[in-house]
Structure 1
Amino acid sequence: MAILRSLIYIKWSDLLYLTFVTWCILGCVVMVTGTLTMASQGEQSNCDSVTKLYPEDLDLKLFQDSSSHPSYYRYLTVDLESNYLFIGAMNRIYGLYLKNIENKLKRLKQDFKPGGHQVYKCKISGKLENPDCQNHIRYLVRNTTVPNTFYMCATGAFSPIAYQLRLENERFVVLKDDLNGIGICPYDPNDNTTVILVEKGAPGNVPSLFAGSVTDFIKSDPLIVRPFVYLPDGTLETGYVRTLRLRNEWLNEPQFVGSFDVGENVYFFYREVALEYTNCGKKIYSRVARVCKNDYGGSSTLQNIWISFLKARLNCSIPGEYPYYFDEIQDVYKVGDTFYGLFTTNINGLTASAICGFNMRDIDRAFDGAFKEQRDKQSIWLPVPEVEVPNPRPGDCKRTNILSKQSDLPYEFTNFVSRSNMLMDKAVSHTFGKPIFYKGGCLMQKLVVVQNVAGHGELVFFTASNTGIIYKIAAWPGLTPLDAPKTYTVTNYIPFSDSRPIWSLMIHDAWIYFGTDMAVGQIAVETCDKYKKIDLCIYDPFC
């Protein structure tokens, strides 16, 4: 009888595996079919609009340092208190006047060059002296608890470094320049990382950094981390908390695009190699992850490890019998309770871009649902039975705070978090069941959003491409709240005569700011007097 049961088990497992392989093959067929469909759409229409505005048409303001070499203006942030647009560049930080970046009377320029030893170590490790072995500024934020102080981090010639600064008389005074920036800033200036300062809700209720980055030179240890938390008097409230080390079930070659402080949680958006697809090959999926701000980490094997970390797939696709997926998130922007993600197809295939919206309610619903797991390498991925999920459930912030302060976590809880990939079974559905906007033939990589410009609930998306074009896309509400908006590519802004990627995009007041490796630009969001036909004004909410 035991032998018979074994035979039955083997045949049933083989059947499951055969079914899984069949679905993989079918999935590949679907991908090809979808690609052909999008290809035909891309041939008929790309991201162009009727109106194209060139440098001579725009009230274009440009800033470029005197150097004829790239300065890598890849980080922009608006600081309203100082009226500066701060720019993180290679070995330097700039402050430009928000209303006119060409104004030389209000301008800050300060060098932060790497040390000679750091440059030497970087070069003997096989990196190029320029741009790799330089100090690229990647994050600058004002510390609201201490007047006129800032936290800054940079790549430090592949030795990430952090600074404490004070702004005095249009210049930064360096308070500390030897802080460890590992896990906060990237090693490689080309990496996609994210960091956010959370003002309230972290342990001790003191401002704390949350980041998605890597901890090593070869990028083998990606992580989501909250560094050590110190109270105002300098005492340590709690140690660092991070994702499980060297566990690709939690993070698998992630490329982070954004992070947000919402309620009791911090949300991270990124793309990664999808483990649930690896039996069919290598594929990228977009994710949203969530951690509790007040998570102190676990005990024993989970010491300094998040016990609230959860992640879910983001579904941005054109619906149909064979859905067409935009799997690679490039940027994300939050308006109210909705996150708007900019997605693309894989850059090695036919290019297409899409904008999808994700409501906070739908994201949290996915995190409250079933977990997904693969029992062994030949098993299909299935929902985890609810009876196997511990109580309290991972991700419950109120109970997480109580649990993480205990010296010993319940065995069932520790075992579940230690062995699980913390992946949710259901993907987060996009609003309206389809993209708000999609087009073939262009690769968009940065996004900002303006809401309710004309008072009718409309949205205006500004997206920037890898060729230096900025698109203004208007989305007018449908007849009912359930109807998808009607979108129009109103204008193409073409600020450069050559093709160059736009790496950063910001909006403030009546201006769009953008950064490339050679220059920083500023253009007005309202260009109604440039339209040659009155019906074009009708589509633009700014008119």
Structure 2
Amino acid sequence: MEHNSFFKQCLIVLCVSFPFLANVRNGGRFFHEKGVWNYTTMLLREDLNMLILGAREAIFALNLDDITVNWSVTNNEQTDCSYKGKDATNDCKNYIRILHKINDGRMYVCGTKAFIPTCDYMVSLINLTLEGKQEDGKGKCPFDPSQRHTSEMVDGVLYSATSFNFMGSEPVMMRSSEESIRTEISSTWLNEPNFIHMAHIREGESNPEGDDDKIYLFFSETAVEYDSYTKMDVSRVARVCKGDLGGQRTLQKKWTSFLKARLDCPVPNKNLPLLVQDVFHLCPSDWSTCVFYAVFTPQLDSSQYSAVCAYKIEDIKSVFSKGKFMAPVTIETSFVKWVMYSGDVPDPRPGACIDNHAREMGITKSLELPDKTLQFIRDKPLMDQAVKALGEKPLLVKRGAAFTRIVVATATALDGTSHQVMFIGTKSGSVLKAVNYGGEMVIMEEIQLFEPSEPVKILRLSNTKLYVGSDVSVAQLSISECGRYHTCLDCVLARDPYCGWDLNADQCSTINSTHRTSTVIQSLSYGDASQCPQIGTCIISLNLQTVCSGRNNKSNI
């Protein structure tokens, strides 16, 4: 059994108690504990050089001497849960769903706790310990372990999107603080949503208009704006302002800044819009450079195409700050149709944060907003215009197993240019590694990590490693596994921005600042391997096999 840096401080006795899978497959190293399932919540603590891993009834701190905390339900809790009609064996357990670092270095952890969502604080000193300061997790953590949810810790305050009740019929986006605030329980605001991702963007630090930080929420929901005989879902992005305190009379303790818009990811010959499954954002410098990368899958299983679309934050901001609103219109006393609103829009603009314009009007907080503005946003939080994808087309469309998760890393090539490398998890347990070169998408490799019946449920990215979680185990991969390319042709034709053929070392090496273009060969835009040393006569066949005479040099790209 091979030990590795993923658990490099693991003592021998602990390695027996918490074994790796016996084999190391496709460069991936694996961890699982017998009898423990659902490795789908992760928190990277690079300050402590460890991965906090949430599973069913257990939390693992990989790299600590005492690497597990058991947080299971009591017999009474399990019995009560089963009396309410839930499966005692599967549903009535404690699935860890929230793990966040807070300002003092502790961690905030929440679990479903047999349909009684509960939160606690956790510390990591000599070992991993729950403090026993249990809090009500309602509105923070889902009741149902199978329900999608999302959360974000912003300056020590938890923002969450989940269901507020046992039945799952009250979806809510809320902030848990002394100034607790939430969405209205209304289909106009959230209509049978499937929450996907939340992101805090620190816009307030450098916005010339004196605007506030934003919290963006990505989800899908049943559309209200389309005339259809059957239910149709659409993908959405919503946003609220960090400084929102609710209204004084109208929208008391409710968001005054909640706006939502449709996300457009156009795939040709698809009648129904694809639905967002995961989102990852990159901000190369300040907030204005942020790009959101999202994976989409079809609404119907009959289609086998998945897509990746990207969205600039400036385009999202423009829709919310300049776009038209939609309004409900009652037709024939019963049917409600949503149409573009063409009437007057109150000032300050509904849904806007408190900015320089509002301050010039004498408004310094949302509690001072006029009722006219608040009533407008209460009834009309939906924008008419959709957010267009970057380039108004997907970055990638692929037939095969549905995409499930995405993370994006930035790689610096040999010539100093930066490239965004996408790692995409699939429903069949594999991970794709892909990059876009001037509009041409190159899939460098697809690594099968889990059995085809075990979907990738979570991806997390550190500086050099990718962590992949499923129901059965967690895997660690290097994001720059250049050693898998054994020849110069393989190395160059892979067009991997992390890798180049080192002529001095006669191997495919990870690009670093010490490499010079005179001694390393890399060709990302064209895959030109003509600079590779002549070994014999080489032919690249139509099935992408490189066959060379003169030496045994046959490989698959």
- CA deviations over 1:153-212 (Å, ceiling 9, x no partner): 1111101101122222122141402x010001000111110111111xxxxxxx311111
**Structure 1: distance between partners of 2:336 and 2:190:** 21
Residue range with higher mean Cα deviation, 74-83 or 396-405: 396-405
How far is 1:93 from its partner? 0.3
How far is 1:512 from its partner? 1.2
- CA deviations over 1:122-178 (Å, ceiling 9, x no partner): 10011111221011111111211x2x322111111101101122222122141402x
Question: Which residue, out of 151, 167, 176, partners 1:227?
Answer: 176
Question: RCO (CA 8 Å, sep 6+): is it higher in 1 or 2?
Answer: 1
SS in 1 for 2:42: strand
Corresponding position of 2:75: 116
Determine if contact 1:165/1:176 at 8 Å carries over to the other structure. no
- The 1:379–1:175 alpha-carbon spacing in structure 2 relative to 1, beyond 3 Å, is closer
**Structure 1: distance between partners of 2:68 and 2:491:** 41
Question: Which residue, out of 192, 208, 219, partners 1:253?
Answer: 192
What aligned pairs does 1:67-86 form with structure 2 within 5 A after superposition? Answer: 67=35, 70-86=36-52
Residue range with higher mean Cα deviation, 440-449 or 527-536: 527-536
Between structures 1 and 2, the one with greater helix share: 1
**Structure 1: distance between partners of 2:190 and 2:214:** 19
- The 1:107–1:316 alpha-carbon spacing in structure 2 relative to 1, beyond 3 Å, is farther
SS in 2 for 1:398: coil
Determine if contact 2:61/2:128 at 8 Å carries over to the other structure. no
Amino acid at match of 2:405: K
Corresponding position of 2:247: 298
Q: Normalising by the residue count of structure 2, what TM-score does the alignment of the two structures yield?
A: 0.76
**Structure 2: distance between partners of 1:414 and 1:351:** 43
- CA deviations over 1:45-85 (Å, ceiling 9, x no partner): xxxxxxxxxx7663321111133xx5111111201122111
- The 1:278–1:161 alpha-carbon spacing in structure 2 relative to 1, beyond 3 Å, is farther
- The 1:293–1:471 alpha-carbon spacing in structure 2 relative to 1, beyond 3 Å, is same
**Structure 2: distance between partners of 1:384 and 1:402:** 28
Amino acid at match of 1:305: K
**Structure 1: distance between partners of 2:95 and 2:176:** 21
Determine if contact 2:350/2:374 at 8 Å carries over to the other structure. no
Amino acid at match of 1:258: H
The question of 1:59 aligning with 2:30 is answered no
**Structure 2: distance between partners of 1:514 and 1:91:** 19
**Structure 1: distance between partners of 2:24 and 2:160:** 41
- The 1:66–1:411 alpha-carbon spacing in structure 2 relative to 1, beyond 3 Å, is closer
RMSD of aligned alpha carbons: 2.1
**Structure 1: distance between partners of 2:377 and 2:76:** 41
Amino acid at match of 1:462: F
Amino acid at match of 1:398: I
Question: Which residue, out of 339, 344, 351, partners 2:304?
Answer: 351
Corresponding position of 1:329: 276
**Structure 2: distance between partners of 1:497 and 1:411:** 56
Corresponding position of 1:508: 462
SS in 1 for 2:72: coil
- CA deviations over 1:200-251 (Å, ceiling 9, x no partner): xxxxxxx31111111111111001101232xxxxxxxx2x211112x11110
Amino acid at match of 2:366: S
Amino acid at match of 2:307: A
How far is 1:326 from its partner? 4.8
What aligned pairs does 1:262-281 form with structure 2 within 5 A after superposition? Answer: 262=201, 263=203, 264-277=213-226, 279-281=228-230
**Structure 2: distance between partners of 1:57 and 1:171:** 30
SS in 2 for 1:130: coil
What aligned pairs does 1:301-316 form with structure 2 within 5 A after superposition? Answer: 301-316=250-265
Q: Unpaired runs of 5+ in structure 1?
A: 1-54, 98-104, 200-206, 230-237, 479-484
**Structure 1: distance between partners of 2:147 and 2:260:** 21
- CA deviations over 1:21-59 (Å, ceiling 9, x no partner): xxxxxxxxxxxxxxxxxxxxxxxxxxxxxxxxxx76633
**Structure 2: distance between partners of 1:494 and 1:335:** 26
**Structure 1: distance between partners of 2:259 and 2:412:** 36
Corresponding position of 1:447: 406
Corresponding position of 2:551: none
Determine if contact 1:253/1:272 at 8 Å carries over to the other structure. yes
- The 1:198–1:119 alpha-carbon spacing in structure 2 relative to 1, beyond 3 Å, is same
**Structure 2: distance between partners of 1:170 and 1:82:** 12
- The 1:508–1:423 alpha-carbon spacing in structure 2 relative to 1, beyond 3 Å, is same
- The 1:496–1:306 alpha-carbon spacing in structure 2 relative to 1, beyond 3 Å, is closer
Q: Unpaired runs of 5+ in structure 2?
A: 1-22, 204-212, 284-289, 500-557
Amino acid at match of 2:154: V
**Structure 2: distance between partners of 1:537 and 1:308:** 50
How far is 1:382 from its partner? 2.3
Corresponding position of 2:378: 418
Determine if contact 2:58/2:71 at 8 Å carries over to the other structure. yes
How far is 1:106 from its partner? 4.3
Amino acid at match of 1:467: S
Determine if contact 1:490/1:536 at 8 Å carries over to the other structure. no
The question of 1:430 aligning with 2:369 is answered no
Determine if contact 1:326/1:353 at 8 Å carries over to the other structure. no
- The 1:108–1:328 alpha-carbon spacing in structure 2 relative to 1, beyond 3 Å, is same
Amino acid at match of 1:243: T
Amino acid at match of 2:367: K
Corresponding position of 1:168: 125
The question of 1:284 aligning with 2:204 is answered no
Determine if contact 1:298/1:304 at 8 Å carries over to the other structure. yes
- The 1:418–1:524 alpha-carbon spacing in structure 2 relative to 1, beyond 3 Å, is closer
Corresponding position of 2:58: 92
SS in 1 for 2:401: coil
Aligned length: 447
How far is 1:120 from its partner? 2.0
- The alignment-based identity, stated in percent, is 31
Determine if contact 1:318/1:324 at 8 Å carries over to the other structure. no
**Structure 2: distance between partners of 1:513 and 1:290:** 29
Determine if contact 1:370/1:386 at 8 Å carries over to the other structure. no
**Structure 2: distance between partners of 1:214 and 1:173:** 25
Corresponding position of 2:432: 471
